[in-house]
Amino acid sequence: MIDSRFDTTVTTTCGYCGVGCRLEARVRDDAVVSIAPALDGPANEGHTCLKGRFAHRFSRHRERLTTPLIREGHGFRRASWEEAVALVAERLGAIRAADGPDAIAGLASSRATNEDCYAMQRLMRAAIGTNNIDNCSRVCHSPTSFSLRKAFGLSGATGSFADIDRADALIVLGANPTEAHPVAGARIKQAALRGLRLVTIDPRRIELADYGVLHLSPRPGTNAAVLHGIAHVLVRDGLIDEAFLAERTEGFGEAAAVSAGYTPEAVEEISGVPAADVEAAARIYGEAREASIAWGLGVTEHRHGSDVVRLICNIALMTGKVGRPGSALLPMRGQNNVQGSSDMGALPDTFTAYRSVGDEAVARSFEAAWGVELPRERGMKIPEMFDAAVEGRLKAMYIFGEDVAQTDPNTAHVVAALESLDFLVCQDIFETETTKYADVILPASSFLEKSGTFTNAERRIQLVAPAITPPGEARTDFDILLTVSRALGHDMGFETPEDAMREIAALTPDFAGVTYERLGRAGLQWPVAPDGTDAKILYEREFSLPGGRGRLAALPYKEPGDAADADFPLILVTGRRLQHYNAGTMTRRTANLDLFAEDFLEIHPEDAERLWIGDGELVSVRSRVGRIEIPAKVTDRIEPGHVFTAFHFPEVRTNLLVGASADVHTSCPEYKVVAVDVRPMPEVPAERPVLAQV
């Protein structure tokens, strides 16, 4: 039945978190007037959250970028597309000629489509000639990708959100799904009410803890010790699957030998989690017929986050709880296409599907398709780009859909890097903290204005359809990237995003059977065979490693990169709020701002009383690298000795506090362990956050 209130209704995929909800966008006069969940959405099953359903008015906000902008003096002037693109090509071409292609770097957007990200990495590799391409998975789930590939072979969830419904037990570690992934969080709640034995592990008492049978609050940075304690009990109490270990894994003996030293009592000393709770968590997981594990940035954003993901894989392999319904490993991806942006090769060391740029056969296949010679050496990761810019080795950046001056750590260093560049191109839908340092700003499209695909946290590739057109002279990201590439001398030959997906499928065995027609309304979970058969569950018969065996890792607990001391006695943990999304670029331009207008610092009543801090009072938060000012909220949701805030508000600039400590394997920043000093502020607050190093 046609609803006469709307000109049209378009089915698309949500552009917020990694759950990948299917939505029905209702349009009148080229504006989205309402959004409803698609009843047949495989990940959301007729549900959506307040961001997906209500936070869409940003698409027609008066602050949308509608024309290209070129820096002139201390501000910007409007420019035509022809002038802006010509300037980009001229400046990037000159830098490439004078300093070499590796003097230029690019960032792809995890808010954009697979096809956009594929075009961006092709632009950098084929039009510029460098592997200096990365995306924001570097600062969130790169440890997940690294460790899943080491343990199992593929960089993705082993199952689906549907496995939550089939599980008898679930461990949620370092994730807060009801805030960051609300539809998945609601699914976990419903399963717990039906009898799922839920264990939550987080320094904060998250909402899901109220639905669980057990909550563990480890000291930030001690996840590895807790997992070793669980592994210790699994082995000690005979809760391992010896047949599975013998037939399908390697490395158990070495891993078990390391965990043998982590008795529950020893883990209590390290983590603060009572020994009895460590034992209880192990029994809940080990005794369950089917059990899953979900984790988030509270696992990965640590100095040894990759190790913790390997230890998660260890306990799944020890118990044989992988590769079957109800026993899944589910990394909770933060952005809508953070999985897909990496799948598409927007990384400095891999082409599509995580195949090394140094793999001669793979590199030659791309050279043949693109008609260019490609470098074999890996490019710079995001932190290396900023270091190189400050040192003068990196001269230009093309930043597509990322607000690094707001979201990346050690903000003062990031700003110094942006200021050091000779030339900066930003492609975005709004002016941001990062565009302040741009030389050219290109007006782009939101997810409601483009076609293509997103890949959600389940590895599910789903279609994205345009409900409205980009405002003013703004263009789709795909069109912009193709235009810039042509101006640099490399014509990709695509007419539509579907053309790009055909090339992706032709060059990538894991995507061989992906077509828009086959994706339909339900999508496909990669790998997809040439006949279109997809993979709901990975590793049912063997792992995707040489020999087909999963690999356990022998990795002892290591101290985090920062620690409380006399000068900085509290530990700051950062995260998300339900009402907002990442840098807040979109949600703060909707009515969601009325629901959550400013952020606050959560502090335990004991710490607040000791520090003479009242609820709602402005406080100064100082770390080893920076300082911010923010109101305090006294709550027992946070453990004593810890404080918590989010990173959605530019006026707070939370990441000024985060230093250079990062995961030793992937350079993912240690956002979750930051030693700080918190003190009451005078009555009059400062107008701006402190940007200088302390």
The lowest-confidence range among 74-78, 219-223, 641-645 is 641-645
The 10s digit of each residue's pLDDT in 585-603 is: 777 777 777 677 688 899 9
33 CB burial (10 A radius; 0-12, 13-18, 19+): middle
Query: Whole-angstrom Cα distance, residue 157 to residue 528?
Result: 15
Q: CATH class for domain 69-139+337-450+477-509?
A: alpha beta
The per-residue pLDDT for 583 is: 66
Please report, for the chain, the start and end positions of each structural domain, with discontinuous segments joined by +. Answer: 8-60, 69-139+337-450+477-509, 142-331, 570-680
The per-residue pLDDT for 264 is: 98
What token pair was written down for 187?
A: 């699914």
The per-residue pLDDT for 598 is: 81
Indicate the pLDDT class of residue 6, thresholds 50, 70 and 90.
Answer: confident
What mean pLDDT is predicted for residues 371-389? 97
What token pair was written down for 304?
A: 């040894």
Query: Whole-angstrom Cα distance, residue 458 to residue 642?
Result: 32
pTM: 0.95
Cβ atoms of 332 and 295 within 8 Å: the answer is yes
Three-state DSSP state, 290 = coil
Cβ atoms of 310 and 151 within 8 Å: the answer is yes
The per-residue pLDDT for 576 is: 78
The per-residue pLDDT for 614 is: 94
Residue 119: CA count within 13 A, CB half-sphere: 32
The lowest-confidence range among 23-37, 178-192, 291-305, 674-688 is 674-688
The 10s digit of each residue's pLDDT in 172-207 is: 999 999 999 999 999 999 999 999 999 999 999 999
Fold classification of 142-331 is: Dimethylsulfoxide Reductase; domain 2 (3.40.228)
Cβ atoms of 96 and 396 within 8 Å: the answer is no
- Phi then psi dihedrals of residue 327, to 5 deg: -120, 85
Fold classification of 570-680 is: Barwin-like endoglucanases (2.40.40)
Residue type, 613: I
Query: Whole-angstrom Cα distance, residue 103 to residue 611?
Result: 49
In order, the DSSP letters of 147-208 are: HHHHHTSSSS-SS-THHHHH-SEEEEES--HHHHSHHHHHHHHHHHHTT-EEEEE-SB--GG
The per-residue pLDDT for 683 is: 57
CATH superfamily of this structure's domain 8-60: ADC-like domains (2.20.25.90)
pLDDT at 686 over 50: no
Of residues 688 and 393, the one with the higher pLDDT is 393
Q: How many residues does the chain have?
A: 694
The 10s digit of each residue's pLDDT in 560-587 is: 999 999 999 999 988 877 667 666 777 7
Query: Whole-angstrom Cα distance, residue 431 to residue 444?
Result: 11
The 10s digit of each residue's pLDDT in 338-365 is: 999 999 999 999 999 999 999 999 999 9
What token pair was written down for 208?
A: 């899901």
pLDDT at 3 over 90: no
